[in-house]
């Protein structure tokens, strides 16, 4: 017997049904796949953000280091410019000392002598110009008479009994001191008071 022939359209319909049946599981699994892909993208973005933050931090640190180095270099350059004349300044202090000694060695009576009157102003003018020139290079004279003794700027050579002033007051300056900018070039040689009342005690006595 001859078997009945299958219609071509029936075979095509059956194939379409099988194809639809096969596609159904894939369609149901698609949301899970998309979620996994989204999670992976989020991890990548988070990693990139962390990397950017780390690079930004390194950049800021590097910029801070460069700025600190620039400031340190500028400060060292300024110090080198300011204190370069330190040795020369110390040598010039001897000249200033000799001019001051020459002026102070002239007795008051001798200052009325016509010859002295002609010479003395020139010596005083020379001393003044020398001190002004030193000040242009931030070299300043220290003459602390009447001030409180400061061990950072003064060197006590002797003590003087004087009950009328507070102990530790500079009463005499045997040799002027000098500073260059904010550094001590030479301490002032001074005589300091002792035996007097403290400032607070003297103030109380005055009130009484």
pLDDT at residue 30 in the model: 52
Specify the pLDDT at position 1: 47
90 conformational bin, left if phi > 0, alpha if psi -120 to 50, beta if neither: alpha
**Domain 139-208 has what CATH class?**
mainly beta
3-state secondary structure at position 142: strand
Q: Measure Cα distances from 158 to 38, 96, 172, 189 in Å.
A: 89, 23, 10, 9
At residue 180, the pLDDT reads 94
The pTM score is 0.61
Specify the pLDDT at position 127.
95
- Measured distance between the N- and C-terminal CA atoms of the chain, rounded to whole angstroms: 152
Locate 161 and state its tokens: 């009994």
Mean pLDDT in consecutive groups of 10 residues from the start of the chain, 208 residues: 50 59 52 60 85 90 90 84 87 93 91 90 94 93 94 95 92 95 94 73 48
Quickly count: other Cβ atoms within 10 Å of residue 93's Cβ.
19
**pLDDT for position 204:** 46
For the chain, how big is the Rg over CA atoms in Å? 47
């Amino acid at each position: 017997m001859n078997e009945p022939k299958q219609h071509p359209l029936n075979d095509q319909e059956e194939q379409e049904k099988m194809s639809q049946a096969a596609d159904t599981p894939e369609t149901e699994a698609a949301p899970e796949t998309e979620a996994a892909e989204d999670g992976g993208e989020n991890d990548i973005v988070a990693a990139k953000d962390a990397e950017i933050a780390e690079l930004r931090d390194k950049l800021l640190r590097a910029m801070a280091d460069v700025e600190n180095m620039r400031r340190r270099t500028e400060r060292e350059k300024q110090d080198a410019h300011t204190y370069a004349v330190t040795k020369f300044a110390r040598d010039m202090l001897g000249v200033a000392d000799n001019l001051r000694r020459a002026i102070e060695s002239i007795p008051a009576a001798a200052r009325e002598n016509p010859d002295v009157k002609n010479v003395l102003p020139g010596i005083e003018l020379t001393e003044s110009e020398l001190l002004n020139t030193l000040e242009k290079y931030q070299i300043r004279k220290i003459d602390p008479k009447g001030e409180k003794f400061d061990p950072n700027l003064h060197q006590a050579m002797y003590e003087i009994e004087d009950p009328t002033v507070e102990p530790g007051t500079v009463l005499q300056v045997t040799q002027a001191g000098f500073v260059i900018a904010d550094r001590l070039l030479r301490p002032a040689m001074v005589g300091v008071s002792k035996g007097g009342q403290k400032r607070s005690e003297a103030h109380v006595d005055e009130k009484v």
